[in-house]
Structure 1
Amino acid sequence: MKVSLVFSVCLAGAIALPRNDINKKNVKLFEKEEFLRLERRIVGGEIATPKQFPYQVGIRTNKIKGIYVWTSWCGGALISDQFVLTAAHCLDNTVSAVLYLGSHNRNASFEMTREMFQVKKENFIMHEKYDPIIIEPDIGLIRLPKKVELNEYINIVKLPKAGQLHLVGRVAVASGWGKTGDKEPTSDVLRFVYRKILDNNVCKKFFGLILKTQLCVEGSDRKTTCQGDSGGPLIIEESDGSKVVVGLTSFGRPTCEQGFPVVFTRVNVLLKWINKHTGISIK
């Protein structure tokens, strides 16, 4: 049975623009900030089972801009016992956040496997060159207040190798708690979708400008990421069964169900930056 699944992500002002202007404007499909509560989505996927994605982190952000105060939802990936990798736009204007680790149903009043952290702004690390206009380089880190104890429900995902450049055609999985359609509510439970990584030249036809710090994933057949899972991981599986985070949900077209490609931050070209701020070794 086909499950309609749509991701949500954290960005502001998702509006339709001419395709050559998409990446030159403040078009943030995945975080359509509504100044009260932000709810987002994944389209055309399946419900995850508990501990299927132990590296998945849910991030409820508290944002302030001028006189506006609102909450939003993002995703992230646990890359060590003290660092979460996410998108820079998730941290932009964010003053604090609550992190959900080991969670399956984020709205359940109690989960035995869940561990939650209250995190202040001083624990956020945005890329120094992040430009919110072109949404690049869309990468950030959150330092946990203390090291988390790893187990079968909470575990780390591997970073890619520095030379791991040939990703076109690989099938990857994206996961998160997002809307199940353009007009549907967000999902209480974690969901996932498999999609193929595209050549950036193909993606340029839709967005006009795709940079070396970005990669694209196909969005056909009503299966794609959407609003509410910005910063969430894009994962490939290696021949030895290990899981590797190669992308972070960044932006896309404002209408998720039409099957347009989605843009992710390309992790392997930003490994030196990650190493600088975390000390995690690069292979």
Structure 2
Amino acid sequence: MVKLQLLKQDQYSPTNRIINGENAVSKQFPYQVYLEEHINYDWRPNCGGVIISNRTVLTAAHCISDSIDALKIYFGAVDRTNIYETGQQRLIVKRKNIIVHPEYDPIQFLNDIALIRLPAEIIFDEYIQPAKLPDPDKLYDNEIGVVSGWGISDRDSWNLPNNLQMQTTSSYICLKPSQGRPCKGDSGGPLAIRNEDGTSTIVGLTSFGMDGTCPPNTPVIFTRVSSFLQWIKENE
């Protein structure tokens, strides 16, 4: 378990990967998706995201550049390179179906949230499930949270791992972990709370960190999903 402290947001840089993470297993994070962006006739690694309904995925606004003309979404994946992986599905979404928060500030990383409308309903199964949206009246203090994503797992290497990574945390929004942290490739991915009934609640989206080199003991900032429930409802 990773212990964290709440800190002030005074220095930061984009955060995209999990350092010192562990490999996830099939069905462990059925709400997690992987995104590739299509720019200039080429597919490139992009970010993570989280399923909240059979037609909607959330990610970070800073993952959606003006140059993107489409996203490829990987559902039910653990090994993103294995097209024959059991439970894995892929879907391409055009730019017109991606909604960035209108008040997103790329300098301050304010309102760092985007919504992806799927062109077809995703069929839920044991590999693909939505995360629940948070209760706006609940702080989730002292809860155990998990960060997941396909970001870099070794800060000395800039190659993305093939397998989904995870890190357990005990707080959210502004975190200082004692070990492990998100980094390149993890932006937009979920910080989730596991519920007693086996479902998960999404409380944060990986946004930015205090140090662009991603040392494992530096703070990470997550977009507070409960602050955007009305916007999500109006746009999904």
With structure 1 as the length reference, what TM-score do the two structures score?
0.75
Tell me by how many angstroms 1:105 deviates: 0.4
Please identify which structure carries the higher helix content: 1
Q: Distance in 1 between matches of 2:221 and 2:115?
A: 19
Partners in 2 of 1:241 and 1:105 — Cα distance?
Answer: 23
Any conservation in 1 of the 2:174–2:221 contact (CA below 8 Å)?
A: yes
Match 2:167 to one of 178, 193, 199: 193
Amino acid at match of 1:125: I
Report the CA distance between 1:70 and its aligned residue. 7.7
The letter of the residue matching 1:107 is T
The C-alpha deviation readout for 1:40-90, integer Å capped at 9, x for no partner, is x311221111011111110011347xxxx8833200010000100111111
Deviation at residue 21 of structure 1 after TM alignment: 5.8
Structure 2, gaps ≥5 residues long = 1-7
Residues 22 and 218 of structure 1, relative CA distance in 2, 3 Å threshold: closer
Q: Equivalent residue of 2:69, what SS?
A: strand
1:71 aligned to 2:44?
yes
TM-score normalized by structure 2? 0.89
Structure 2 residue aligned with 1:268, among 211, 226, 229? 226
1:250 is matched with 207
Distance 2:196 2:95 in 1: 39
CA deviations on 1:109-166 (whole Å, 9 max, x unpaired) are 42231111111100101101001111110001111110011100011110001212x2
Give % identity: 40
Kept in 2: contact 1:181–1:257 (CA 8 A):
no
The AA in structure 2 aligned to 1:124 is I
Q: Greater strand percent: which structure?
A: 2
Question: How far 1:239 moved relative to its partner?
Answer: 3.7
Change (3 A) 1:114 1:262: same
Does the 8 Å CA contact 1:158/1:243 hold for their aligned counterparts? yes
Cα RMSD over matched residues?
1.9
The question of whether the paired residues in 1 share the 8 Å contact of 2:9 and 2:174 is answered with: no
Aligned residue identity for 1:275:
K
2:15 is the counterpart of 1:29: yes
The CA deviation at 1:20 is 7.7
Correspondence list, 1:1-283, <5 A: 22-23=11-12, 27-30=13-16, 41-63=17-39, 71-93=44-66, 94-164=68-138, 166-184=139-157, 185-197=159-171, 215-221=173-179, 223-252=180-209, 253-278=211-236
Question: 2:35·2:72 contact (CA, 8 Å) conserved in 1?
Answer: yes
Native 8 Å contact 2:204 2:225 kept in 1: yes
d(CA) in 2 for partners of 1:244 and 1:267? 10
Q: CA deviation at 1:174?
A: 0.6
Supply the distance in 2 between the matched residues of 1:230 and 1:83 (Cα, whole angstroms): 18
> Unmatched 5+ residue regions in structure 1?
1-18, 31-40, 199-214, 279-283
- Supply the distance in 2 between the matched residues of 1:249 and 1:192 (Cα, whole angstroms): 13
Question: Greater RCO between the two (CA within 8 Å, min separation 6)?
Answer: 2
The 2-side partners of 1:134 and 1:45 are apart by: 27
CA contact (8 A) 2:20 2:216 kept: no
- Runs of 4 or more consecutive aligned structure 1 residues displaced over 6 Å after TM superposition: none
How far apart, CA to CA, are the structure 2 residues paired with 1:234 and 1:180? 17
Change (3 A) 1:103 1:239: closer
